[in-house]
Chain A
Amino acid sequence: MKIREIDIENFGIFTDRHFDFGESSFQLIHGPNEAGKSTLLQLLRQLQFGFPTRSPYQFETHAGEMAARALIDIADGRRISFRRRKGRNATVVGEVEGTAEKINDSTLNGLLGSANIDLYQHVFGFSLTELARGEESLKHANLNEAMFGGSLGSPSNLQEIQKSLDSEAAGLFKNTGTKPVVNSLLRGIRSRSTEIKNATLKPREFEDKQKELRSAEERVASLSESRGETQQQLSHLDRLCQAVEPWLERNSIEDELEQIAVPAGVTAASGAEMQQLLIDQSRATSSLDDATKELAETEQQLNELKLAPEVLGVEAKIRSLEKDFSRVERDRELLPQLRSQSQTILADVQSRLAELNPEWNLDYLDSFQSSLEQREMLEELTARQADLTKRQAEVEARRPDLKQRVDSAAIHLTELASVRPVPEIEELLERESAFRSAVASLGESTANAASLNRQLSTLKKRLSPVLATPKLADDELAALPVPLESLLRSFQERHTVAESALANSEARCEQFSETLQEKQAELAAKTAAEQVPDRLQLEGQRERRDAGWTLIRRKFLAESESDSDSGSVEQEIESWIGKTAESLPDLYERETSEADRLADDRQAKAEIVAQRDQLLADIERAAKSLTDANLKRDARKQELEGVSDEWNDLLAGFNVKPHPPEVILEWHRTFESWLDVRSKLIDSQTRTKQLQEQTADFEKLLTSHSEGETGNESAAATIDRKLAAIRRRSEEIRKFELERQQIEKSLPADRASLESLNEESSRLDDERATWSLEWSSLLSKFGFPDDWSVRIASKTLQELHDAKQKYRESKSLEEQTSNLHEEVTSFHDKARSVCMEIRPDLVDFPISDMVSRLSDDLVQAANAERQHTSLHENAERIRRRVKAGEDEAAELSSRIDELLKVAEISSPEDFLEIAQQAQRQQDLQVEHAALTRDLKRLAGAEDVETFLSELAESDTDTLPLKRDEVQQRHQQIDKERDEALRLESEARTVFQSMDGTSEAAALQLEQESGYAQLGSTVDRLAPLVIAQTLLKRAVERFEKEHQPAMLTEVGRLLSRMTAGRYVGIRRRLDDAGTMQIEQQNGKLKTPDQLSTGTREQLYLAIRLAYVQHYCQESEPLPLIMDDILVNFDEQRAKNTLEVLFELPNEIQVLFLTCHEHMTELVRKLRPDVVPIELATA
């Protein structure tokens, strides 16, 4: 692909810029710093592969979108024009010239061989920075990386990626070691497997534990039984020991009881009773004496007490007087105040009545009445009067203004009726803009037609030299048959390819020829410098020596030689010896020495021999290559001639002279341009005519509606003046029309409003008359004068109402005074009546003293009464006590006598002595019974008699010893049983701990986690190692398919660039595949042993080889180089430029530089290259 032209609409500093890169494959673009070199480089990249979403070349100050157009030639001969804009979708719109085929993003990408911007940037776009980076990376890259890694950005990247993949994979897994993740996980999984095995409860284990528990339970049961037996024995002996003491004691009691004798009538209880009776008798006599004395004192107090029953008889009346006294006192003090208050109110009422109407008095007030209905009527009439007054005021306020507006509008409407719009004037004004546009277009169209005519003429002149029949008329020329451009391009391409192939073949022939000559010269020089017997000479000498030995053997050593054979040997010897006179053995010895000398000589000069052999082999190879190249060159020549013949045949069919394809293609393009311009001219002329008709029509209409004559002014000025007058007239008409429409719209509404106001006023008059009638009626009902206004009537009514209220209040006060007076009088009468009944001496006392003394008398009488009652009750109680004391003393004496009588004893003292013996007997019996119970308890479940008889038979002194023995035995068994119980408990705990809780299950969960982690890690590891393998496979395949051809090409390019100092690239047979560079003298260097400049040339050679290789298999893309030679000395720069010039024709080189000397160097080498100046392009 070659970029022929670009039009930048908007990109960075470029707006509306055009670049024409011409037809040449090499284009120099020169511009100082900041002229936009880098911007142009970016644009050329992005124009092909798309503008990124975020771009530093999107300047906000620029109007319009980021876009550019391009005209490109595709290798298959098609020419494409397209426009690319910045955006997400449909950024490319274009077409294949000469066809209806459209171009969009996808098809353009296909035309670019599906390359991507990264590849393009790394391989085809060069700047000094990238060159320097590439040169540096060569120091560490192996051959593969150097050859193919560059397409990934830099040779060392491939190595870096491989290293990073290796390192990450090794971090996850290694064949040996413990640290990598997988290795560590595997170790954990395996050790956990063992833990799970150990934590697992196996069936045998379960059964063993079960058996252990059962055995422990049985042992406990057996010991418990033995323990029960000893326990029983121990208990029996223990009880026997305990029974010894009570048993002896009981025997002693039984002896004492036999000694005691007591009469039947005396018991321990009757003794105690006698003693108690004697004590009670003494206490009862003393109490009787005290009670008799107390009774006498009480009876005396009763006799001395004074009572007042008459006072208590009127107690209720005195209490009533006490209760009412304070209230009556308050009433008596209140009476004068009430009287005074009532009189004041009455005087006030009379005074206010006299103010309202002198004729009105209290009787009138008493009789005056106003109903609720009348009062509501008054309120309603008052409200209605206010409403009527308000509405009337509103009507009167609006009516005069409205009337004036209606009258004035009616007069103005009559005046405006005569003004109406003129349609023709409006039409003129509407067409004015189109007219002016047509006038402007007419000017442009006329100028355009003139320009097209000039272009047409120029193009036609350029067409003539190629035409077989010059000076054709335009119509004849337009009808001329011409070949299709695609056909021409196809031929041109074939021609170019054939030419290029021939040139390449010739170059290779020349190269091989030079190589052959160089090698031959070198061989000659080596041969001349050092005389070394050649291999053939040595072999010849050895053959002669061996033949001599055969003859010696046959002549002297063979045992049975026949005669005929002997003759033949002699002849052969003679022939072998030749003309020398030496004998066979002597000559053989000399020939042997000579062969050895030659061999020794070769051996001594083995290195020179090897070099010479190598040179010979090289010469042989070069000669063969030259022969092959010559054959190929001849074939290429024939191909080129064939293409030329076809070309001439093709042109013979058209009206053109036979010229080279590029000339004919240029002519074809000119012819297409001529046709295009001619078509445009015809269109332009037609358009001019239409515009002229349009303006004339407008001017005619304008004149017909304008007044006045044309003066000395120009036609355009006349038209402007007329149009201005018409515009003013139109505006006036429009203004009047608007005014009329507004009045017509508002007048009916105003009229209706006025009429409505009049009607409202009339309604108000009627309502006012009705109101007056109702008002008069109401006044008469109240008895008020006819002429009273609403305000007076309302006020008077309110005054009357207030006076009446006061009058009622006064009457109520008078009534209250009278009632109080009656109450006071009644109380006095009541008090005197009580005094007359019990204390007549108090009748004339003041009422307060009277009530006070009656109260005192009542209190005293009540106290005396209460004291009398209390003394009386006390005397009764004492009398009852005296009687009870007398009864008790008699009863006690009787009981004592009875006891003595039963016992037949005379005195109580004797009785008490015998009773003590009875008490002792009883105590012993109780003790005996208690001991018997103890012995029964000790016998327990055994039969008591058997138990006691065993005790009687036992030796009580040895019993404790027997018991201790049994106890020891029991304790031993107990101890054993405790141990058995502990073991049983342990076994039970172990068994019960097997409750189903599984430690193994928990460990298993951990194990699953380990497996899960292993899975996750392998999920990370697998893509890494697969990626490693994929990358390795890709490099190997790429190497296999591309390396040999590329290696040769890199060697050739490097040789050209270094003027033969370095001649080729090799791969060292080590694991890393180190790159080696062969020098002219055959010695090898690695990249890091080269100078920086040579390494840059090497990197450039590799890139150019890759580019050529790529372009052979895919669409060639333009090679853009930005000042890459600036660090080269002039010779290096010259050599490199020559290599660039020699690149195949299909590869376009756009060479950017800011250095003048570089431009000069290019011009010196290629005078036909015309630099594009960036600053002025």
Chain B
Amino acid sequence: MPGDSFRFIHAADIHIDSPLRGLEAYPGAPTERLRNATREAFENLVQLAIDEAVAFVIIAGDLFDGQWKDMNTGIWTAGQFRRLERARIPVCLIRGNHDAESKVRTGIRWPSNVHEFSVRRPETFTAKQLGLPESIDVAVHGQGFAKPDIQEDLAAGYPDAVSGHFNIGVLHTSLTGNPAHDRYAATTVEVLRNRSYDYWALGHIHIRSEPPISETPFVAFSGNTQGRHIRETGAKGCLLVSVEDGTIASTEFQETDTLRWHRAAITLDTSDSLSDLYEKTRDALQECLDASDGRFAAVRVEISGACAAHRELVQSGVQEEVVSQIRDIANEWDDEIWIEKVKLNTSPPINVEQLRQGQDLLGELLRDVQNLCTNHEQLAELVAESLATLSSKAGPELQAADISLADSDQLQTWLQQAEGLLLARLEAEA
């Protein structure tokens, strides 16, 4: 299948104007740098396409996070598409579960270089339809989401490969499933293989497939272009694909993110004091910054360990002071780090198991904690009862803040913190 050599970009899950989650503003926090993170990532993607003079750009769903809260989202996006139009680079895009047709009604006419696949049936764009030179023998197949919860296997209905062309399938899917993502348009690699395409540009899963799901045909998720919360750590971007004589010569991951998320896990030793905590934090932040490769870093600092500092940490007001101190340390690097959150999960440097065996009130209390550790229902009941007033007063806000009183991990963490708190208080009072 001889033909021209060309390159294209495979991107997905751009979620334009989706806010970055969980970032707490504080005095000195570089808020300005974060407002447009998803937009800047998309700008980087567009610039990459122009710089690399790619033949076309593929967006495999979820260009938007949901129905626009603001027309400005669409106006701005159209502006970026126009940049590609001026560079004569067509865009092929499908709608995903977040920007399904029933959910996002744009009301804005995209520039002529944007080719959106139908949501009713699978569609194919050839080089001619895309306005590419006919010497680029490419056929791009795809179908968007008409509604968010597509359960049928869309890939099974995709057309056969066009003979003598480089065939690309564009699909928004959970494949066989991923615990971190909802299950939509599920399919299998076998189904994809049966289409006899050369490349499957997948979207929906925000973690890039490394290595790819399949080499022949090449099947991969490009991941999202910008991490949006602490669960999306590491480099984010798109895939730059080179095709030579009808076969894939290379696929390179290209970073587009402007902000990178990190978890800095700090384990304190038995004798570690608050000053040791700060030193270790400084080192950990430096590592995060090194790993950010010049980008802005949003860091969750997770402090754990049975340590001498615990007794101080559970005192009233000390936690706030420690958090401020850690944010101050972050400010030592000018506008380069945002401390997303500081999680303090330390415990006192004592033999808790021994105390748990004691036939006194403390032993009774610790045994209760141990029992609750293994009994989720009881624990959930206890927490629901303890926080009943709060949840009745601020249910929607808690949900928006990602706080679930039924989340087992969350409850266990709180329980451990409560145990540590009581141990330190009781021990300190003793």
| Interface of chain B residues 360 through 415 with chain A (CB within 8 A) | 360-365, 368-369, 382-383, 385-387, 389-390, 393-394, 397-398, 400-403, 414-415
- Pairwise interchain contact A1009-B382, C-beta atoms closer than 8 A: no
- Pairwise interchain contact A153-B430, C-beta atoms closer than 8 A: yes
| Interface of chain A residues 1004 through 1047 with chain B (CB within 8 A) | 1004-1009, 1011-1016, 1018-1031, 1033-1035, 1037-1038
| Interface of chain B residues 127 through 153 with chain A (CB within 8 A) | none
Known: A109-B354, A997-B76. A1029 touches B362 (CB 8 A): no
A1044 to B380, CA, bound (A): 32
For the complex, is A38 an interface residue (Cβ under 8 Å from B)? no
| Interface of chain B residues 1 through 50 with chain A (CB within 8 A) | 17, 19-25, 31, 34-36
Q: From A115, A998, A1023, give the contact of B414 (CB < 8 A).
A: A1023
Task: Choose among A116, A118, A171, A1021 the residue with the greatest number of B CB atoms under 10 Å from its CB.
Answer: A116
Q: From A165, A995, A998, give the contact of B79 (CB < 8 A).
A: A995
For the complex, is A607 an interface residue (Cβ under 8 Å from B)? no
Q: Looking across the interface, which residue of chain A has its beta carbon closest to that of B379?
A: A1026
A1027 to B76, CA, bound (A): 50
Q: From B22, B394, B429, give the contact of A153 (CB < 8 A).
A: B429
A160 to B415, CA, bound (A): 21
For the complex, is B73 an interface residue (Cβ under 8 Å from A)? yes
- Pairwise interchain contact A1008-B23, C-beta atoms closer than 8 A: yes
A1020 to B415, CA, bound (A): 12
B352 → A minimal CB distance (Å)? 10
Q: What 0/1 readout, one digit per residue, does chain B (56-68) give for beta carbons within 8 Å of chain A?
A: 0000000000000
For the complex, is B355 an interface residue (Cβ under 8 Å from A)? yes
For the complex, is A269 an interface residue (Cβ under 8 Å from B)? no
- Pairwise interchain contact B77-A996, C-beta atoms closer than 8 A: yes
Binds A, one of B113-121, B286-294, B417-425: B417-425
For the complex, is B250 an interface residue (Cβ under 8 Å from A)? no
For the complex, is A827 an interface residue (Cβ under 8 Å from B)? no
Q: Looking across the interface, which residue of chain A has its beta carbon closest to that of B323?
A: A1016
A1030 to B419, CA, bound (A): 9
For the complex, is B359 an interface residue (Cβ under 8 Å from A)? yes
Q: What 0/1 readout, one digit per residue, does chain B (325-340) give for beta carbons within 8 Å of chain A?
A: 0000000000000001
A118 to B354, CA, bound (A): 12
Residues of A within 8 A of B418 (CB): 1022-1024, 1026-1027, 1030
- Pairwise interchain contact B389-A1012, C-beta atoms closer than 8 A: no
Residues of A within 8 A of B51 (CB): none
Residues of A within 8 A of B368 (CB): 1030, 1033-1034, 1037
Q: From A113, A122, A171, A1024, give the contact of B430 (CB < 8 A).
A: A122
For the complex, is A671 an interface residue (Cβ under 8 Å from B)? no
- Pairwise interchain contact A1113-B22, C-beta atoms closer than 8 A: no
Task: Choose among A121, A148, A1008, A1026 the residue with the greatest number of B CB atoms under 10 Å from its CB.
Answer: A1026
A891 to B391, CA, bound (A): 126
Q: What 0/1 readout, one digit per residue, does chain A (148-163) give for beta carbons within 8 Å of chain B?
A: 1101111001001100
For the complex, is A851 an interface residue (Cβ under 8 Å from B)? no
For the complex, is B267 an interface residue (Cβ under 8 Å from A)? no
Q: From B31, B343, B394, give the contact of A1005 (CB < 8 A).
A: B31
B30 → A minimal CB distance (Å)? 12
- Pairwise interchain contact B390-A1013, C-beta atoms closer than 8 A: no
Q: What 0/1 readout, one digit per residue, does chain A (654-675) give for beta carbons within 8 Å of chain B?
A: 0000000000000000000000
- Pairwise interchain contact A1000-B429, C-beta atoms closer than 8 A: no
Residues of B within 8 A of A157 (CB): 426, 429-430
For the complex, is B263 an interface residue (Cβ under 8 Å from A)? no
- Pairwise interchain contact A151-B361, C-beta atoms closer than 8 A: yes
For the complex, is A119 an interface residue (Cβ under 8 Å from B)? yes
A1038 to B419, CA, bound (A): 18
A68 to B382, CA, bound (A): 47
Residues of B within 8 A of A118 (CB): 427, 430
- Pairwise interchain contact A1038-B71, C-beta atoms closer than 8 A: no
Q: Is the interface of B mostly helix, strand, loop or mixed?
A: helix
* Chain A contact patch, size range: 35 or more
A1028 to B419, CA, bound (A): 10
A168 → B minimal CB distance (Å)? 5
A167 to B315, CA, bound (A): 12
Task: Choose among B316, B354, B360, B401 the residue with the greatest number of A CB atoms under 10 Å from its CB.
Answer: B360
- Pairwise interchain contact B365-A1031, C-beta atoms closer than 8 A: yes
Q: Looking across the interface, which residue of chain B has its beta carbon closest to that of A203?
A: B107
**Interface residues of B, CB < 8 Å — how many?**
70
Residues of B within 8 A of A1020 (CB): 319
- Pairwise interchain contact B25-A1006, C-beta atoms closer than 8 A: yes
Residues of B within 8 A of A114 (CB): 354, 357-358, 363
- Pairwise interchain contact B401-A1012, C-beta atoms closer than 8 A: yes
- Pairwise interchain contact A1011-B400, C-beta atoms closer than 8 A: yes
A118 → B minimal CB distance (Å)? 5
- Pairwise interchain contact A152-B361, C-beta atoms closer than 8 A: yes
Task: Choose among B17, B357, B361 the residue with the greatest number of A CB atoms under 10 Å from its CB.
Answer: B361
A1015 to B340, CA, bound (A): 11
- Pairwise interchain contact A1014-B398, C-beta atoms closer than 8 A: yes
A186 to B391, CA, bound (A): 12
Residues of B within 8 A of A190 (CB): 397
A157 → B minimal CB distance (Å)? 4
- Pairwise interchain contact A1008-B69, C-beta atoms closer than 8 A: no
For the complex, is A994 an interface residue (Cβ under 8 Å from B)? yes
Q: Looking across the interface, which residue of chain B has its beta carbon closest to that of A1039?
A: B361
B268 → A minimal CB distance (Å)? 18
Known: A995-B75, A1008-B21, A1038-B361. A186 touches B354 (CB 8 A): no
For the complex, is B341 an interface residue (Cβ under 8 Å from A)? yes
Residues of B within 8 A of A206 (CB): 71, 75, 107
A118 to B350, CA, bound (A): 12
A binding-site residues for B, Cβ under 8 Å: 109, 113-116, 118-119, 121-123, 148-149, 151-154, 157, 160-161, 164-165, 167-168, 171, 173, 175, 182, 186, 189-190, 196, 199-203, 205-207, 994-998, 1000-1002, 1004-1009, 1011-1016, 1018-1031, 1033-1035, 1037-1038, 1110, 1113-1114
Q: Give 16 A-B pairs besides A154-B429, A182-B394 with Cβ atoms closer than 8 angstroms.
A: A161-B422, A168-B316, A994-B71, A996-B72, A996-B78, A998-B76, A1001-B72, A1004-B69, A1005-B23, A1008-B19, A1015-B24, A1023-B418, A1026-B382, A1026-B383, A1031-B365, A1034-B364
Chain A to chain B contacts (Cβ below 8 Å), 14 pairs: A109-B354, A116-B358, A118-B430, A123-B360, A149-B361, A153-B430, A994-B72, A1014-B394, A1015-B22, A1022-B383, A1027-B422, A1028-B386, A1031-B365, A1034-B365
B binding-site residues for A, Cβ under 8 Å: 17, 19-25, 31, 34-36, 69-73, 75-79, 107, 316, 319, 340-341, 343, 351, 354-355, 357-365, 368-369, 382-383, 385-387, 389-390, 393-394, 397-398, 400-403, 414-415, 417-422, 425-427, 429-430
Task: List the 10 closest pairs (A to B, CB-CB), nearest first.
Answer: A996-B76, A114-B357, A1023-B417, A1034-B365, A1012-B24, A1009-B25, A1011-B401, A1026-B418, A998-B72, A1027-B418
